[in-house]
């Protein structure tokens, strides 16, 4: 089945009771048993729920995996991966990553004796320098939030295989429409499904997809034991969102290209971060491992002026100033004071998250309106 068909049919079957085309919302906590243990595969909705199971099959299908798991948020999904570890274990992570992931690693899991090495992975071969006998996991986000760095998943996967480590890839920015990390050798793919997968800014959710049965069993155990699941209504909304992922992503990519090129040629803009530019340091890798370049763009204005950045985000009218990304509507954000405020200033500036950086999530409106909006806001 091709990707554009999978978004609509992947892992789905028509409802057995009445033939409903959409999976029913099983708004129930529990399931009748004829005798203790005599049930139809569902006992209690933290463990399994038919609507969530339909969604988990859809997640697995999109990422060419065998097992999908849905969580109450992207961070809950990352949290489940971290619970595979024990005190003394070490993780090698991208240094430029979503601020909330950094906060979870440093403020929660460091307290439980897990050590993190945050490193630049633009040259993914660097990862090997940090492997030791305690290393268990490589955490890659690509493209990264918000600097749009691209990390070579195949190189990271070869290092993981050589040293018997797990490789997890946060595929939130690319989505499986553009990039399928399991095909490139990753063990775990993770999503903030809140973003492009849901696509309508109405559901907070996380996803994991794996191929290995033993790894899936360990993650399902953690999902049930820790309980950070999502409910049936949200599972339904996510399934509905996923059905248009391919058409939305196609437009996000088209609009992203037009907006990136407009900004690139603007006399007041110093630098535009978008993997589709040939001048992007890892454009070649992006071309190899992604099918297109997406609608996420970051930029800084000339003079690197904080007040100027704030003025621009306040003046934008079609772009809404808001946290989050990946919805049909265009959003803008100021990472230093919003999504990445949890990263200390000197840490975030090392990776390029300066006070004047603006991040755009280019939506699927008419590109002319988006460009006009930027024109009037930047001046
Ligand atoms: N990973 C990335 C790349 C993100 O952008 C986000 C949220 O912005 C997350 C993970 C966390 O996901 P959630 O907000 O659904 O918990």
- Give the pLDDT of residue 341: 86
Task: Determine which residue's CA is closest to atom 7 belonging to ligand 1.
Answer: 192
Task: Give the chain's radius of gyration (CA, Å).
Answer: 21
* Mean pLDDT over the full length of the chain: 97
- Give the pLDDT of residue 304: 84
Asked if the model's pLDDT at residue 93 lies above 90, the reply is yes
Q: Quote the longest CA-to-CA distance of the chain.
A: 74
The structural domains of the chain, ordered by start, are 3-242 (3.40.640.10), 246-378 (3.90.1150.10)
Task: For residue 357, report the distance from its CA to the centre of ligand 1, in Å.
Answer: 19
- Active-site annotation holds for 183: no
Point out the catalytic residue in the list 31, 46, 258, 350.
Answer: 46
- Give the pLDDT of residue 344: 87
Task: For residue 192, report the distance from its CA to the centre of ligand 1, in Å.
Answer: 5
Asked if the model's pLDDT at residue 176 lies above 90, the reply is yes
The number of C-alpha atoms within 13 Å of 282 and in the hemisphere containing its C-beta is: 22
Residue 222 neighbours by CB distance under 10 Å? 20
Asked if the model's pLDDT at residue 351 lies above 90, the reply is no
Asked if the model's pLDDT at residue 24 lies above 90, the reply is yes
Q: How far apart are CA 189 and CA 191, in angstroms?
A: 7
- Give the pLDDT of residue 114: 98
The count of residues in the chain is: 379
| Residue 294, SS3 per DSSP | coil
Asked if the model's pLDDT at residue 358 lies above 90, the reply is yes
Task: For residue 72, report the distance from its CA to the centre of ligand 1, in Å.
Answer: 12
Burial class of 368 by CB neighbour count within 10 A (0 to 12, 13 to 18, 19+)? exposed
- Give the pLDDT of residue 57: 98
Stretch 291-300: mean pLDDT? 98
Q: What is the pLDDT of residues 241-250, one digit of tens each?
A: 999 999 999 9
Measured from the CB, is residue 143 less than 6 Å from ligand 1? Answer: no
Stretch 43-69: mean pLDDT? 98
Q: What is the pLDDT of residues 253-287, one digit of tens each?
A: 999 999 999 999 999 999 999 999 999 999 999 99
- Give the pLDDT of residue 317: 98
């Amino acid at each position: 089945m091709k990707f554009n068909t999978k978004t609509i049919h992947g892992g789905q079957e028509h409802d057995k009771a009445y033939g409903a085309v959409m999976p029913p919302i099983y708004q129930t906590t529990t399931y009748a048993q004829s005798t203790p243990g005599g049930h139809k595969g569902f006992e209690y909705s933290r463990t399994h729920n038919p609507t969530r199971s339909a969604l988990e099959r859809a997640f697995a299908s999109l990422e060419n995996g065998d097992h999908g798991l849905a969580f109450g948020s992207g961070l809950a999904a990352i949290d489940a991966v971290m619970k595979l570890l024990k005190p003394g274990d070490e993780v090698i992570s991208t240094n430029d990553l979503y601020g909330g992931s950094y906060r979870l690693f440093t403020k929660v899991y460091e307290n439980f004796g897990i050590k993190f090495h945050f490193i630049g992975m633009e040259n993914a071969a660097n990862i090997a320098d940090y492997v030791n006998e305690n290393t268990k996991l490589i955490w890659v986000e690509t493209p990264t939030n918000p600097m749009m760095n691209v990390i070579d998943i195949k190189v990271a996967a070869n290092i993981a295989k050589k040293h018997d480590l797990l490789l997890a890839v946060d595929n939130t920015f690319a989505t499986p429409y553009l990039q399928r990390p399991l095909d490139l050798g990753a063990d775990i793919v993770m999503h903030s499904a809140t973003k492009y997968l849901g696509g309508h800014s109405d559901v907070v959710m996380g996803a994991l997809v794996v191929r290995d049965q033993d790894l899936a069993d360990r993650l399902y155990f953690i999902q049930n034991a820790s309980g950070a699941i999502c409910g049936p209504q949200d599972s339904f909304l996510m399934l509905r969102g996923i059905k248009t992922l391919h058409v939305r992503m196609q437009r996000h990519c088209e609009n992203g290209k037009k907006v990136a090129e407009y900004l690139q040629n603007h006399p007041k803009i110093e630098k535009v971060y978008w993997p589709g530019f040939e001048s992007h340091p890892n454009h070649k890798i992006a071309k190899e491992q992604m099918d297109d370049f997406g609608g996420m763009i970051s930029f800084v204005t000339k003079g690197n002026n904080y007040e100027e950045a704030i003025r621009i985000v306040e003046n934008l009218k079609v772009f809404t100033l808001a946290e989050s990304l990946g919805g049909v509507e265009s959003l803008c954000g100021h990472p230093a004071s919003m999504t990445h405020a949890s990263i200390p200033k000197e840490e975030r500036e090392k990776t390029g998250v300066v006070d004047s950086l603006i991040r755009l999530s280019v939506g699927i409106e008419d590109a002319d309106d988006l460009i006009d909006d930027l024109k009037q806001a930047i001046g």
